[in-house]
Amino acid sequence: MIKTIKTTPYDDQKMGTGGLRKKTKVMMQENYFENFIQSIFNTIGDLSGKVFVVGGDGRYYNDKAIQQFIKMAAANNVAKLIIGQNGLLSTPASSNILLKNKTDGGFVFSASHNPGGLNGDFGIKYANETGGQIPTSISDKIYENSKKISEYKIYDAPDIDLSKLGKSKLGNMEIEVIDSVKDYVEMMENIFDFEALKKLFRNGFTMKFDAFNAVTGPYAIKIFEEILGAKKGSVINSNPLPDFGGKHPDPNMTYATELLAIMNSDSAPDFGAANDGDGDRNMILGKKFFVSPSDSLAILTDYYQLIPAYKNGIYGVAKSCPTSTAVSRVAKAHNLPYYEVPTGWKYFVNLMDSKRITLCGEESFGTGSSHIREKDGIWAVLFWLSIIAKTGMSVEQITRDHWKKYGRSYYLRFDFEGLDTKVADKLMADLEEKLSSLNGKTFGSYQVDKAYPFIYNDPVDKSSTKNGLIVDFIGGSRIVYRLSGTGSSGATLRVYLENYDKEKIDNNPRQMLETLLSVAMEIAEITSRTGKKEADVVT
């Protein structure tokens, strides 16, 4: 039986960089989740005949959310849902299933790299038929609808058993529960040379992959251990748990402590990697060696010809604005079209669909290609393993070799977290105001070349987006300031620093960026405005 439930709107359901992300307890408020889903349905309009992919990263409230979603979809005339077994699907796997089955959209219930659990975060990522997350024009409409919602429709029915594969029905809606891993594995086999990778492991190559007890565990076990033959135990924290076993599934130098301890020990394996909660981010490590994500994008691009799926040529490459300029030098060397977009994977989608780019990446541990319309953590790991297999070099050798050839972009991101939203907004507004007065000014040895807001004009849909403030210095160094769009409370100021050096390639990034950091603090008056003398997280 279909019920119509009266509800009142919440006024904070605005999607950020990666969908709607809130504290779990906020999401669990009465009708909160349901209001938002109905607002999406109302925005789409007629749902008859529509097919959606549904999954999540297994975090707390996932099970309840998926059941509510199924019942609401059935009550709203959706024709079919394709759901990952036990409600699990990584963000890249979902994008693949969406595209493969030419469905009308996909929902991934995840707050990505944010912690899970009752006191953690919960989120909703919504992709449309492009396979990528919706553009701002659509999320704005959903937000408007969420502010005037008065009722939602839901089926009054028992929960659906998502542990069994196969088809069933709820009302007129078909439900198909599919293997969460199978299609993803097939896709990877079609991109990479699995035989070469198997040989690498047969020859004794060792690795550790940290899945943080989030969604990538089953994917990683299947691909690295079962198919490619990495030793049992190569994948750690492989069991998806509602609270991720208390782990913060953010693959970086701050939170991947267990993996870093392994990779920094004398008995470190040859290769280390981690993915985030929903499997779209990646961190790459060698023995006692860290690869900056911006360098990673540049290196993958440089070696694209080694990969079967790309060997006949790629369209071009793109990076998000704050990502270091390393990849731009590779693009130039290979004569590849090159684009710079605002932060957030959705901005790459039009470039991929219009065949302008094949590879792309962000400094926030995201790399991917046009095989899907989301970034892809395991894909990046397989790409790195392929380069190692074909060149015989270690992670460190590959990276150093890159620096020798192209120079090095020393790069770090400094996050000032938990700021008062008004203080943060004012800091950015005032800084934007004074940007033009910075042109030509010197700060110690740094002379400003040009200071300007980053404005992106999409070549396909002609939309214009302003996100971030840039200060370029003579010689190639850069500061980018922007506010995070993924936080679940308060504001986070991100300060991205890049110091390019052609000759000095063996220095410590922190040392190489110390002066630029004080310049960045001074220009934006960070300490006097926020009270913070230093960043909370440096990645």
362 binds, among ligand VG1, Co ion, none (CB under 5 to 8 A by kind): ligand VG1
Output the CA–CA distances (angstroms, integers) from residue 9 to 33, 144, 437, in the order listed.
11, 10, 44
* 251 near ligand VG1, rule: CB under 6 A: no
Q: Among 392, 350, 61, which residue's Cα sits nearest to residue 200?
A: 392
373 binds, among ligand VG1, Co ion, none (CB under 5 to 8 A by kind): none
CB of 294 vs ligand VG1, minimal distance in Å: 11
- Alpha-carbon Rg for the chain in angstroms: 23
Region of 360-368, 394-402, 449-457, 503-511 interacting with ligand VG1 (CB under 6 A) = 360-368
HEC-encoded secondary structure of 201-229:
HHCCCCEEEECCCCCHHHHHHHHHHHHCC
- Tell me which of 95, 343, 350, 499 binds ligand VG1, using CB under 6 A: 343
Residues 98-117 that bind ligand VG1 (CB under 6 A): 112-113
- Give the residue nearest to ligand VG1 (CB): 112
HEC-encoded secondary structure of 120-160:
CEEEEEEEECCCCECCHHHHHHHHHHHCCCCEEEEECCCCC
- Tell me which of 345, 347, 379, 473 binds ligand VG1, using CB under 6 A: 345
DSSP strands (E only) in 184-329 = 207-210, 235-236, 271-275, 282-286, 289-291, 317-320
- Tell me which of 57, 104, 250, 280 binds Co ion, using CB under 5 A: 280
Nearer to ligand VG1 by Cβ, of 139 and 364: the residue is: 364
DSSP secondary structure code for residue 260 in this structure: H
CB of 279 vs ligand VG1, minimal distance in Å: 9
Under 8 Å between Cβ of 198 and 225: no
Nearer to Co ion by Cβ, of 112 and 488: the residue is: 112
- Tell me which of 13, 15, 17, 336 binds ligand VG1, using CB under 6 A: 17
Nearer to ligand VG1 by Cβ, of 18 and 316: the residue is: 18
* 276 near Co ion, rule: CB under 5 A: yes
* 282 near ligand VG1, rule: CB under 6 A: no
Going residue by residue from 300 to 329, which x/- string records binding to ligand VG1, judged by CB under 6 A?
--------------------x---------
* 280 near ligand VG1, rule: CB under 6 A: yes
Going residue by residue from 399 to 428, which x/- string records binding to ligand VG1, judged by CB under 6 A?
------------------------------
Q: Give the end-to-end CA distance of the chain in Å, rounded to a whole number.
A: 51
Residue 235's φ and ψ, nearest 5 degrees, are -100, 120
Angstrom distance (rounded) from CA 104 to CA 80:
10
464 exposure class (CB count in 10 Å sphere: 0-12, 13-18, 19+):
exposed
To the query of whether residue 112 is one of the catalytic residues in this protein, the response is yes
Under 8 Å between Cβ of 274 and 258: no
CB of 378 vs Co ion, minimal distance in Å: 12
CB of 213 vs ligand VG1, minimal distance in Å: 17
CB of 267 vs ligand VG1, minimal distance in Å: 31
* 55 near ligand VG1, rule: CB under 6 A: no
Angstrom distance (rounded) from CA 320 to CA 335:
19
Counting every residue written for the chain, the total comes to: 539
Nearest-5° angle of CA 452, CA 458, CA 460? 165
- Tell me which of 222, 281, 329, 529 binds ligand VG1, using CB under 6 A: 281
Residue 429's φ and ψ, nearest 5 degrees, are -65, -45
Catalytic residue (choose from 39, 95, 112, 146): 112
396: CB partners within 8 A, 6+ apart: 286, 287, 289
- Tell me which of 34, 104, 225, 276 binds ligand VG1, using CB under 6 A: 276
C-beta atoms surrounding 267 within 10 Å? 7
| Contact residues for ligand VG1, defined by CB under 6 A | 17-18, 112-113, 276, 280-281, 320, 343-345, 362, 364, 366, 484-486, 494
| Contact residues for Co ion, defined by CB under 5 A | 112, 276, 278, 280-281
Q: Which residues are catalytic?
A: 112
